[in-house]
Structure 1
C-alpha cells in the first residue's frame, strides 16, 4: 500500500513537472521576442542634417548618414555607426569641425565617444587626429588614453599617448609626447 501511494505521488509530481516545462517554453519564446524588440533601436534616422540654434543663431550643425536612437534602454544612447561631421559656430562666426567614422552619445552623462579616424579642425587651423576621443559636453573637456597627433597653426607638431584638454585647447595636458615646438624669444 505504501509503495502504491509513493508511486502515485511520484507520477503526479512527474506529470506536474512535465506540464510546467512545456508551459514555460511558450512563455520563453514570447519573452525572447519582447527582448528582441527592446534590443532594436527606438528609431532610425537616415541622412541626418540637424541644426541647433540659440537666439536665432546657428550654434551647431550635425550631419550623419545614419543615427540609431536607443533612448528606450536603461542607459540611453544614440549611435552613429557611419560617422559624424559636426560644426560648432562661435559668437564671432568662426567654425570648429569634428569628423569621426563612428560615434556614440550617452544621453544621461553628456559624454560623446568618437572612434575611428577622429579629426578636429579648429577655426585657427589647429588639427588634432587620433583613433578615439571622448568629449564631455557638460565640462567642455576632451580626453583620450590613445595616441594622438596635434598640428598647431604656427607649424608646431606634437605626438603623444593620452591627453586631456578644454575644448578650446587653451589648457592641454599630455601624458607623454614628442614633437617640434616654436617658441618666441
Structure 2
C-alpha cells in the first residue's frame, strides 16, 4: 500500500508541474525575436550608403553617409548617423538644395530628422544657412531651429537666434534677427 500511495503522489506532483509549466509559457513573438539581441545594440549597421527617396518615380531626396546604426528594435525607434550625412533635396522643378551635417538622428515614430554639428544648407539659388543644430519635419516638410544661425543671401548676411522654412526655402525666415541688412527704398 505504501508503494501505491507514493506512486499516486508522484503522479499528482508530475501533473501539477506540467500544468504549471504549460501555463507559464507565453507565445510572444516579439520577445522571441529579441533573443540574442541586446536592446542597447543596433539591430543593423550600414556603411557607405546612398539612399534615394522617390515619389511617383520622381527623385525627391538623396541621402549619402559613411555609417548608419539602426535602432528600430527599441520602444522609440531611430536611426543614428554618427559620421555625418549629405542630403540632397530636389524640388518639383528638379532644382537641388544640399544639407550637410556632422551627425544626424532620424526618429521613426515622429518623422523628425535631427541634424547636429556644423550644419550647412546651400539652397538651389545659392543662399547658405549655417547653424549647429537643425530639425526637419518630414511629414510637414518644415525646417526649423531655435539656436543661432547665419543666413547668407546674395546681398546680405543675416544673423539670428532661430530659423523657420518650408522644404523649398521659398518661405525662409530668420528669427530674432541681428546684424546689418540692406533694404530697397
Question: TM-score surpassing 0.5?
Answer: yes
Offset, 1:142: 1.6
Counterpart residue number, 2:171: 171
Counterpart residue number, 2:43: 42
Q: Is the 8 A contact 1:127 1:150 kept in 2?
A: yes
The CA distance in 2 between the partners of 1:170 and 1:88, in whole Å, is 14
- What TM-score, normalized to structure 2? 0.75
Offset, 1:178: 1.6
Q: Is the 8 A contact 1:151 1:157 kept in 2?
A: yes
Offset, 1:183: 2.8
Counterpart residue number, 2:156: 156
In proportion to residue count, which structure has more helix?
Answer: 1
Offset, 1:51: 1.2
Q: Is the 8 A contact 2:157 2:181 kept in 1?
A: yes
- 2:34 aligned with 1:63: no
Offset, 1:175: 3.5
Q: Secondary structure of 1:38's partner?
A: coil
Q: Is the 8 A contact 1:100 1:115 kept in 2?
A: yes
Counterpart residue number, 1:20: none
CA deviation map 1:71-102 (0-9, x unaligned): 11100000000010011112222101110000
Kindly tell me the number of residue pairs found equivalent between the two proteins: 151
For structure 1, list consecutive stretches of 5 or more residues without a partner in the other structure: 1-33
Matches within 5 A, 1:57-136: 57-136=58-137
Q: Secondary structure of 2:126's partner?
A: coil
Counterpart residue number, 2:52: 51
The CA distance in 2 between the partners of 1:167 and 1:93, in whole Å, is 13
Counterpart residue number, 1:19: none
Offset, 1:149: 0.3
The CA distance in 1 between the partners of 2:58 and 2:171, in whole Å, is 27
Q: Is the 8 A contact 1:156 1:179 kept in 2?
A: no
Q: Is the 8 A contact 2:37 2:43 kept in 1?
A: no
For structure 2, list consecutive stretches of 5 or more residues without a partner in the other structure: 1-34
Counterpart residue number, 2:15: none
- What TM-score, normalized to structure 1? 0.75
Offset, 1:36: 6.9
